[in-house]
Amino acid sequence: MVIPNITIKKILYTTDLSENARFAFAYAASLAHRYGAGITMLHVISEDPDLDARVVGYISSEKWEQIKERNIQEAKNVLIGKATGRAVIGEVLTQFCEDAMGTLSECEFRTDDILVVRGNPVEKIVSTAVETGCDLIVMGSHGIGSLADAMLGSTAQRVIRRSRIPVLVIRLPEER
């Protein structure tokens, strides 16, 4: 068997804005730095048709759409550090990388895009990776329930099963 030469030019970093996701970003940034790859950040706001139907019973569908749009904007603000403009986004992410990678003196990388979308997280992660031509997906995982030590989070499991590109799943160290 010939071992292939691995090149990583585009990384899809997925975030649910949790501590696990922030920890996983350190890996995405480090790999981007090492390979000279760009990072596309993706946050998916889950769509739940059952919830939509239940909520509309309490408020109008227009008001519900406004609330969902406001949540999308809040997620974007978190991802870009409540700043606008590409240069500022790059500065925020570079600073975050430096903080996360404390041991590295330099951790340069580029951010190709920051996406906040609505839909099924697994479908959006897999389709975004394909549409943007990513070579690797980096995501955090939550071990939830009594099988936490034996299982990955359900979103991570489903992404691994459906993705045709490699998926790096990062868990928080136990000492956190």
CB atoms within 10 A of CB 117: 16
Compute the half-sphere exposure of residue 32: CA atoms within 13 Å on the CB side of its CA: 29
- Three-state DSSP state, 64: helix
For the entire predicted model, the pTM comes to: 0.72
Can you list the domains of the chain with their CATH numbers? 11-170 (3.40.50.620)
Spatial CA neighbour of 23 closest among 90, 79, 92, 100: 100
pLDDT in tens, 92-112: 555 565 565 555 456 677 778
Query: When comparing pLDDT for 152 and 72, which is higher?
Result: 72
Residue 90 has pLDDT above 50, yes or no: no
Mean pLDDT of 14-22: 83
Where helices occur in 19-153 by DSSP H, the ranges are 19-35, 49-56, 61-79, 86-100, 121-131
Spatial CA neighbour of 99 closest among 91, 88, 111, 87: 91
Quote the pLDDT of residue 154. 85
Which of 5-9, 36-40, 132-136, 156-160 is the most confident on average? Answer: 132-136
| Cα torsion angle, 23, 25, 29, 32, sign | positive
Strands 110-119 and 136-140: what pairing?
Answer: unpaired
